[in-house]
Structure 1
Amino acid sequence: MFLSHKTNLMAASAALICSVAGPAYAQAVQIDIAPQPLGSALNQMAIQGRSQILFRPEVVAGRTAPAVRGSMTVDAALDRLLEHSGLQHRQDRNVILVDKPTRISMRADAAPAMAAQAPLASDIAVAEEAPAPSNQLDEIIVTAQKREESLQDTPISIAVLGGDELKARGLTALADFASGAVPSLRVIPQQGRPSTLNITMRGINPGDPSQVSRDQAVGVYLDGVYLGRAQGLGSEMYDLQRMEILRGPQGTLFGRNAVGGAISMVSKRPTGTFSGDITAGVGNFDWRTVKAHLNLPEFAGFSIKLDGVWTKRDGWVENPLADASDWAAVDRRGGRISVLWEPADNLEFLYSFDISRDASTAGYQQSVRLPGAPPFPAIFYDEPKRVKRGRVGVPLEPSLGKVQGHSLNATWDLSDDLTVRSITAYRKIEQAQYTNSGGLLTPYTPNGVFGRVSYADVHQDQFSQEVQLLGNFDNLEFVAGAFYFEEDATDLAFTPFSAMFNSDGTGYRLLPIDFNSPRFPDRGSDINARSTALFGQATYTPGILDERLHLTGGLRWTSDRKKGALTRSRGAVIDIPFKFSSDRLDPAFTVDYNWTDDVNTYVRWGQAYRAGGANSRSLTYRPFDDEEVSTWEIGAKTELFDRRVRFNLAAFHTTYKNRQVDFVNPASPSNLETLNAPGSTTIKGMEFDLTARLAPGLTLTGGYAFTDAEAAVDRNPFTDQLQEGAVLYTPKHSAVLGLDHEMSVLDDATFTTHVDAVYSSSFFTGGADQPKTGSYAMLNARVTLGDLEMRDGGAKLAFSLWGKNLTNARWKLFSFNIAGPGLANLSTAVWNEPRTYGVEAKVNF
């Protein structure tokens, strides 16, 4: 058998590194390998460990390697890389062999001639510094099932955004997903409030998420830690490795309040080698940003990473009142420190502390009179299109939010087959909300009041503990665990008017906002919630059908307890208590089959629930029960044309029972009641995700979601009338299409271009009697000249020019009618951001 030129070259060069390969196998070296395909991981290991590693390409094909970082011997590092792969390694003279156990044994018998006989390399690849061919797609590693595995091997509908893709698309905070950047997912600032996010997935919406006695419908996780409140989610995202968006109920492994799905953000870990980057940028609306990330050298087994971010931008709707804040201004800053300690090869502790401050301002609510509405005063006018200046100047302050959290993740490899993990976390939030658009709530009258301020203050702290046991045996993989969560929260709200018209409506004066008023606050409540769970999931691969069939079953037992009280009403101290308790089992099962190494299909059924609670906007603190979601899903994961095209699709049918529905009091829009809808809502749809390497350096990405919902009929408790139900923030059609190109220019510099387009059809943001938003399409782009060598020791410089919503498309993020007896009969709306653009400079070192 003849050797390829490449194999001949590497076999000949083996003699040149023999003096290094032998000692390095047993000596500690610094290793930093991210999760990736096993073949490329072995390539990196050979370079970082200064070793010659031989393996057969067909043996490592389709296998993935976990992250391996820290100071260790090549022997120990290979043990961790090959864990759960079914492969083994051994050293023979100056060469390290990686193969199946039987072939390793066979070669051990012939060891004396192993390194000397070059023909043995004819069926073995030599690990070297060479990535996969540039026209093939990189493998994506996810942890959706609590273990590192390939996206294509995970039978769940998942969208994954890597750190570079998030940056290229300008997604620096969860609120940036308001445009529909990921089909099936919609993230909206609740009624324009910058740090309280309303997150919808696959038609499952939380209702009013600002209440502390109510839970989210989509679970949000940061490095495995559940973030219990919708408040505080507007902060900038730190240095993320990736974001995984798990679509559909995740009741078994993620638990309560993941009825719509889960968003899992995974941060980059300390590397233990000195490196970092600094980014600075400017843009329109006086946008300014500085971001920095620093990895410190490993010392005594400890590796430290520091992250910092500061972003500020003027509001894009001007407030005519001097010295008052403009609407939709951004002011975010924060820092994070991560410390990785690896006292042994099989034991690690990762501690993280993050702290952030968000002083952004609320969006501006525009108004248009409904047919038959009374006339506006002289200084008011209809605002049918997105405006740049408010109708009148009114007091407006930043909605100040402060968030901080501690987490400790521990991983202990008991053996090659068993691992124990622990995730311990404590977090707290202080979030104020201040909105005032200077609008009408009631019809204009001479000397009447307007400019209703909505002020709220939320304090919350939470503790969580999760323990997992992961096993991987010949035909069985499993994860079992326990989870505990407890939170204490309080909220209060105050809604004074800030202005009064003169006698003919041609002018106005400002009113004092007195937080010492006898009627402060209008309402207040507190809540204590505890949740305990036991869970398990196992995947069995029968020894039939070439081991292509996989059967997965899971079960989660959850016990929820809540108690709280409505404590204030129009300044008076009251005590209206409520309690909620629930004990339940949520099962799931999956059958998936690998038709080939590149085509996998699956059928999945899963169930999840959202805990009940009480509505603090209710005058009686009326409780409501939990809701339940069950979904059938069929899907396919495919890689085609020699791994140049990745096409994944899923179709689902969801039954939504006891849906928690908000009803607005027609006489007082701030008064809500939440009831469980008596019937079942049906949601069905399809999702497609596409990545195609069209040519070396040219990649096409795309996603599409079709969602069709039939909401149950609801009975309004205020009118006792049946009304048509509506599924909120769920367009029937949503899509995204992106194109990325990279080319070499100058002396080893790179020029990259990213363009993406987003489309959404119309959707409801209130009940079925409320207006829909319009459909829209928007365009974003970013170009970067990077890898420019600097003179000071190998640092590299990059310049970027970016633009978002380049066509200046307009649509309503939120729309709501203030209509009814005694009300102004207006349609109000918060609009999307106009065109933004800027430049950035980044230094990597």
Structure 2
Amino acid sequence: MSKSRLLSAGAISSKSLLATAIGVAVLPSVVLAQEETFTLEEIVVTAQKREQSLQDVPISVNAVTGAKMAEAGINNLEDMTAYVPNLTMNQTGIGTNISIRGISSGINQGFEQSVGQYVDGIYYGRAQLARAPFMDLERVEVLRGPQGILFGKNSIAGAISMITAKPTEEFEGSLTALYEPDHGEQDVRLVLSGPLADNLYGRLAIMDRTIDGYYDNETLDDDESDEDIGVYRGSLKWDVNDDLTIDLKIETGTFDNKGRFLEIVNPVGAVPYAGVLSTLTAGAYTLDTKQNFKRQSNGDTSDNDTDNVTIKAEYGIGDHTLTLISGYNAYEFEETCDCDFTGASIFTADTTEEFDQFSQEIRITSPGGETIDYIAGFFYQTTDLEFEDAIRIPSDTLLLPAFSATLTGLGVADPTVILGTSTERTFEQDSDMWSVFAQVTWNITEETRLTLGGRYTDEEKEASRRQFHVDSSGVTQPIGAVTDDLNVFFGLFRIEPYAEIKADRDETAFTPLITLQHDLNQDVMLYATYTSGFKGGGFDVRSNAHPDASVVNALRAGVIDLVGVFEFEEEEADSFELGGKFTLADGAAELNAAIFYTEYTDLQTSQFDGTLGFNVTNAGEATSQGVELDGRWRLSEGLTIYGALAYLDFEFDKFPNAQCYFGQTPNSPSNPGLCDIKGETREFTPEIQASFTADYVYMLSDALELRSTLDLIYSDDYLASPTLDPNLEQDSYTKVNARVALGAADGKWEVALVGKNLTDEEVVTFGNTAPLSTTLTGNAGAAYYGFYDRPSSVAIQGTIRF
């Protein structure tokens, strides 16, 4: 794992000459900027459900434009996190985490995300949708801190609002193609927009993207993760009359992966994982445990299909606006995971999920600029979730020689009975939720404003789950037969079968907001905010045992008593924020600052049980506090710099039931076998994150210009494992991204070189103990798996606009 590397001759690879060239080109303009002042273009956002200048919004907001995303090659939410401090997204072995200010939901399909994701006002609460690709966006707004009033109950850490590009009244179009040879990346995007008839406008956006990947699978002799992405979006805008406008958007997409960008690393203990595998295969198998972008696996796949339809109608009622937004959102995916993360034959995991959602929002918005301004509305949402997964034991599994003696000792006459079997789980959930909300601003004077807001939410959930074993002939085994051989075998991995569990829950919540704003002058706005957040409870999808301790179906009666989880409670937050928006240098510069302090109670977390399962627990209490700064400065006609800095202090105030990492001595007085991590931080909570960007445009002639961008992205060190295992610590690093483009001054065409991670940093984005590694070694040793960011790459990109 690399140490922090600064920009020096020793740290920069040959590909970083691209970034160096940009730096040399930019320097002369810094000197020229001292002689003249230039004005920034206004950034307009809809963070408060109405168009406002970013400098007028009393929220810590970071906005990334669609142009920046296209130029920087930001293809999804994970790419964008580099440019927004205190925002992280990480793919895991079986899920996806999104975090703002250290708060995320963990790994469980029963969770809704702590960070609410919205596309054109429609809630995307499922973790899998966070992996969906970006295409033809107008901008993305990241709102940090609880956003429970205008965005909803589950946005307890913040909200990500994505706004797609809309149809235009004049015809325009573009064709963009990108090729990167080292990792076999090809990306083609087509956009057509313009009038279709009187008062009717349309927009078509298509993306086709493939990449071979940056990992070498030595078992299959192939590159990974192989991605194949296709997205098709059609939009219509109909100006029915002067008072009514209707927008329709229909989108369908696929994003399919073969393989993963992870590898086994850092074995520890007296009996390394590799040693056990080598012994079981009589020395025929060697496990690579070096961090080298090489992995061994029998194959992983993830096939995802998404569909969504959004209808938005805005009707003018006098000076007020009535808005109706209807949304249908659905997806399904199938995944196969070689989840022992080795090339040996041990076990595989299959997952399927189907989800559909319908929502309806109605809101009334006052015209603005009055003594009293307000937004009020009603929201309804219904969802349906079906989930199935299975752990399958192949006919040549190494688990047979590893546990044959153990099984015999537990009374299994023929241990080969485990071959070709599986343990499977089904989960279903229906949810209905409604809420009413209002936010009122009293413009006390021209300089001072008081905003009061509140949202009342009511949600009902019904869910069921069952676990069962299937023999090699496909016959489901009896649930209550504790003498069954498969119950004995899977019990060794803390899995027990049980009949269907059913439950329902009904919860209500009220979340308030108080904000005071004051303009010191036309260039300085200060604000203070108190708000609360709420994230609903629910049902654990992935626990491998029955929640009732009296249910003993795993090993023979009296040998082991497994206790799982089914229901978990809601999560709550109280947040305070002080901030300011500053216009500087006669309009040439802006600085935004926020100081925040948030207390969380009953924090929802998902803990790996050390073998093959995860259990949801409410973690007690935590505090997230820190400082966020961002700004921009137009130094000359062609040069603008952007910067963002975040300091984060995250600490668990109460967490007596955390999973211990390998080798850690359990120390929880009230939870035997677990660890009390009061006073500890959380994974992915670096104290300092920062980004710096310099955009420079130089006119080579009246018709030709040179455009260049340099990005520096810094992160302090952090722990990459939910168990806070020091064996998976990421050192601090500085990434360099750069872009140099030659194009027409009127923007009609452009050819660019796009470089990413030019300093070739090795960055682990998630890791944990490898499944079964401690079980196979009798807790004498362990290995770890880690997901790693893409190494350095340089692509050529061409764009034609018409």
TM-score, scaled to structure 2:
0.80
Give yes or no for contact 2:214–2:261 (8 Å, CA) kept in 1.
no
Deviations along 1:770-825, one digit per CA (max 9) or x if unpaired, are 63322221110111112267xxxxx9221011011011110111121246453561
* Separation in structure 1 between the aligned mates of residue 222 and residue 390 of structure 2, nearest angstrom: 19
Q: CA deviation at 1:501?
A: 5.9
The DSSP-based 3-state class of the residue aligned with 1:730 is coil
Q: CA deviation at 1:140?
A: 0.6
The DSSP-based 3-state class of the residue aligned with 1:723 is coil
* Separation in structure 1 between the aligned mates of residue 617 and residue 629 of structure 2, nearest angstrom: 34
Count of residue pairs the alignment pairs up: 674
Give yes or no for contact 1:519–1:570 (8 Å, CA) kept in 2.
yes
Deviations along 1:749-785, one digit per CA (max 9) or x if unpaired, are 2211011011111223312346332222111011111
Code of the residue aligned with 2:766 in structure 1: it is: F
Name 1:199's counterpart in structure 2.
98
* Separation in structure 1 between the aligned mates of residue 759 and residue 90 of structure 2, nearest angstrom: 21
Q: CA deviation at 1:243?
A: 0.5
> What is the correspondence of 1:677-688 to structure 2 with a 5 Å cutoff?
677-678=619-620, 680-688=621-629
Deviations along 1:10-53, one digit per CA (max 9) or x if unpaired, are xxxxxxxxxxxxxxxxxxxxxxxxxxxxxxxxxxxxxxxxxxxx
> Does residue 579 of structure 1 match 2:579?
no
Name 1:798's counterpart in structure 2.
750
Name 2:587's counterpart in structure 1.
643
Give yes or no for contact 2:37–2:588 (8 Å, CA) kept in 1.
no
> Does residue 535 of structure 1 match 2:437?
yes
> Does residue 460 of structure 1 match 2:355?
yes
* Separation in structure 2 between the aligned mates of residue 398 and residue 164 of structure 1, nearest angstrom: 32
Q: CA deviation at 1:134?
A: 8.4
> What is the correspondence of 1:800-839 to structure 2 with a 5 Å cutoff?
800-818=752-770, 820=774, 822=778, 825-839=782-796
* Separation in structure 2 between the aligned mates of residue 396 and residue 672 of structure 1, nearest angstrom: 23
- Aligned counterpart for 1:491 among listed residues 387, 394, 398: 387
> What is the correspondence of 1:44-193 to structure 2 with a 5 Å cutoff?
135-177=38-80, 180-191=82-93
Identity rate of aligned residues, in percent?
Answer: 27
* Separation in structure 2 between the aligned mates of residue 488 and residue 598 of structure 1, nearest angstrom: 49
Deviations along 1:426-473, one digit per CA (max 9) or x if unpaired, are 1110112233266469xxxxxxx6453232111100001111100136
> What is the correspondence of 1:169-318 to structure 2 with a 5 Å cutoff?
169-177=72-80, 180-191=82-93, 196-208=95-107, 210-211=108-109, 213-284=110-181, 285-318=183-216
Code of the residue aligned with 1:654 in structure 2: it is: T
Q: CA deviation at 1:500?
A: 4.5
TM-score, scaled to structure 1:
0.76
Code of the residue aligned with 2:647 in structure 1: it is: F
Name 1:22's counterpart in structure 2.
none
Mark the CA change 1:497 to 1:568 in structure 2 (over 3 Å): closer, same or farther. closer
Mark the CA change 1:306 to 1:373 in structure 2 (over 3 Å): closer, same or farther. same
> Does residue 752 of structure 1 match 2:704?
no
The DSSP-based 3-state class of the residue aligned with 2:527 is strand
* Separation in structure 1 between the aligned mates of residue 733 and residue 434 of structure 2, nearest angstrom: 43
The DSSP-based 3-state class of the residue aligned with 1:768 is coil
Give yes or no for contact 1:368–1:384 (8 Å, CA) kept in 2.
yes
Mark the CA change 1:372 to 1:172 in structure 2 (over 3 Å): closer, same or farther. same
Name 1:95's counterpart in structure 2.
none
* Separation in structure 2 between the aligned mates of residue 752 and residue 452 of structure 1, nearest angstrom: 51
The DSSP-based 3-state class of the residue aligned with 1:687 is strand
The DSSP-based 3-state class of the residue aligned with 2:130 is coil
RMSD: 2.4
Give yes or no for contact 1:369–1:382 (8 Å, CA) kept in 2.
no
Deviations along 1:611-636, one digit per CA (max 9) or x if unpaired, are 11121221225211000011100001
* Separation in structure 1 between the aligned mates of residue 722 and residue 729 of structure 2, nearest angstrom: 8
Mark the CA change 1:231 to 1:134 in structure 2 (over 3 Å): closer, same or farther. farther
* Separation in structure 1 between the aligned mates of residue 39 and residue 347 of structure 2, nearest angstrom: 57
Identify which range, 709-718 or 214-223, moves more after superposition: 709-718
Name 1:126's counterpart in structure 2.
none
* Separation in structure 2 between the aligned mates of residue 481 and residue 294 of structure 1, nearest angstrom: 34
Which of 1 and 2 has greater Rg?
Answer: 1
Name 2:576's counterpart in structure 1.
632
Code of the residue aligned with 1:701 in structure 2: it is: Y
> Does residue 657 of structure 1 match 2:609?
no
> What is the correspondence of 1:271-670 to structure 2 with a 5 Å cutoff?
271-284=168-181, 285-322=183-220, 326-361=223-258, 362-374=260-272, 375-376=275-276, 377=278, 378=283, 379-387=285-293, 389-391=294-296, 394-416=297-319, 418-436=320-338, 439=341, 450-472=345-367, 474-497=370-393, 500=397, 519-520=421-422, 522-543=424-445, 547-571=446-470, 572=476, 574-618=499-543, 619-620=545-546, 621-666=565-610, 668=611, 670=612
Mark the CA change 1:747 to 1:472 in structure 2 (over 3 Å): closer, same or farther. closer
Mark the CA change 1:430 to 1:502 in structure 2 (over 3 Å): closer, same or farther. closer
Deviations along 1:199-246, one digit per CA (max 9) or x if unpaired, are 0001111111x41x2211000000000012111332221211111000
Name 1:723's counterpart in structure 2.
676
Give yes or no for contact 2:339–2:349 (8 Å, CA) kept in 1.
no
Name 1:766's counterpart in structure 2.
722
Name 1:700's counterpart in structure 2.
641
- Aligned counterpart for 1:732 among listed residues 682, 687, 708: 687
Give yes or no for contact 1:772–1:815 (8 Å, CA) kept in 2.
no
Name 2:24's counterpart in structure 1.
none
Mark the CA change 1:172 to 1:838 in structure 2 (over 3 Å): closer, same or farther. same
Deviations along 1:388-440, one digit per CA (max 9) or x if unpaired, are x324xx43243100001000011011112x11001100111011223326646
Mark the CA change 1:707 to 1:527 in structure 2 (over 3 Å): closer, same or farther. same
Q: Structure 1: any 5+ residue segments left out of the alignment? A: 1-132, 442-448, 506-516, 790-794
Q: CA deviation at 1:386?
A: 3.0
Deviations along 1:174-209, one digit per CA (max 9) or x if unpaired, are 12135x331010011133x6xx5310001111111x
- Aligned counterpart for 1:743 among listed residues 698, 713, 720: 698
Give yes or no for contact 1:492–1:522 (8 Å, CA) kept in 2.
yes
* Separation in structure 2 between the aligned mates of residue 805 and residue 707 of structure 1, nearest angstrom: 24
> Does residue 783 of structure 1 match 2:727?
no
Give yes or no for contact 1:439–1:451 (8 Å, CA) kept in 2.
no
> What is the correspondence of 1:30-45 to structure 2 with a 5 Å cutoff?
none
Name 1:843's counterpart in structure 2.
800
Q: CA deviation at 1:150?
A: 0.7
The DSSP-based 3-state class of the residue aligned with 1:231 is helix
Identify which range, 777-786 or 429-438, moves more after superposition: 429-438
Give yes or no for contact 1:205–1:728 (8 Å, CA) kept in 2.
no
Q: CA deviation at 1:504?
A: 12
Give yes or no for contact 1:355–1:403 (8 Å, CA) kept in 2.
yes
Deviations along 1:700-733, one digit per CA (max 9) or x if unpaired, are 1110111101112222598454421542322111
Code of the residue aligned with 1:715 in structure 2: it is: N
Q: CA deviation at 1:842?
A: 0.8
The DSSP-based 3-state class of the residue aligned with 2:78 is helix
Give yes or no for contact 1:424–1:464 (8 Å, CA) kept in 2.
yes
Code of the residue aligned with 1:430 in structure 2: it is: E
Identify which range, 490-499 or 340-349, moves more after superposition: 490-499
Mark the CA change 1:281 to 1:169 in structure 2 (over 3 Å): closer, same or farther. closer
* Separation in structure 2 between the aligned mates of residue 690 and residue 470 of structure 1, nearest angstrom: 30
Give yes or no for contact 1:235–1:332 (8 Å, CA) kept in 2.
no
The DSSP-based 3-state class of the residue aligned with 1:233 is helix
* Separation in structure 2 between the aligned mates of residue 452 and residue 201 of structure 1, nearest angstrom: 35
Code of the residue aligned with 2:160 in structure 1: it is: I
* Separation in structure 2 between the aligned mates of residue 320 and residue 677 of structure 1, nearest angstrom: 40
Q: CA deviation at 1:281?
A: 1.7
